[in-house]
Amino acid sequence: QQQVKQSPQSLIVQKGGISIINCAYENTAFDYFPWYQQFPGKGPALLIAIRPDVSEKKEGRFTISFNKSAKQFSLHIMDSQPGDSATYFCAASRFYGGSQGNLIFGKGTKLSVKP
């Protein structure tokens, strides 16, 4: 019940295209869904996050779509750029969960944006 399943494992997109990464969770107690972007040799950077009171959140070219009934959420990167090439991790947790609030990570998606 603690798993977060992320797909695809790798993704190749042309410059200017839309990148879509999907995640599914099982634990209905999760109420915080962040996405992290990680470049090789660097720490993960918090990119965007959503709480279940909204179905979509947009920040610049990055959008999270959230489907509570399906227990799924996805990251859309519009107008993908070569600089977006990185590994993306979705995660889920209980926002005020205290000792139950640890991030459960998906396995990651390696995105390559071709010029």
Partner 1 sequence: DTEVTQTPKHLVMGMTNKKSLKCEQHMGHRAMYWYKQKAKKPPELMFVYSYEKLSINESVPSRFSPECPNSSLLNLHLHALQPEDSALYLCASSPWGQGNEQFFGPGTRLTVL
Interface with partner 1 by CB under 8 A: which residues? 32, 34, 36, 41-46, 49, 87, 89, 93-103, 105-108, 110
Cβ proximity to partner 1, 32 vs 65, nearer residue:
32
The pair of structure tokens assigned to 46 is 């918090």
Q: β-strands 86-92, 62-67: how paired?
A: unpaired
The pair of structure tokens assigned to 17 is 């295209």
CA atoms of 8 and 108, how far apart (whole Å): 8
Shortest distance in whole angstroms from residue 94 CB to partner 1: 6
Cβ proximity to partner 1, 96 vs 115, nearer residue:
96
Shortest distance in whole angstroms from residue 38 CB to partner 1: 9
Shortest distance in whole angstroms from residue 34 CB to partner 1: 7
Q: Does the N-terminal peptide bond of residue 8 adopt cis geometry, omega within 30 degrees of 0?
A: yes
CA atoms of 110 and 7, how far apart (whole Å): 10
Cβ proximity to partner 1, 1 vs 99, nearer residue:
99
CA atoms of 76 and 99, how far apart (whole Å): 31
Shortest distance in whole angstroms from residue 79 CB to partner 1: 26
Cβ proximity to partner 1, 20 vs 103, nearer residue:
103
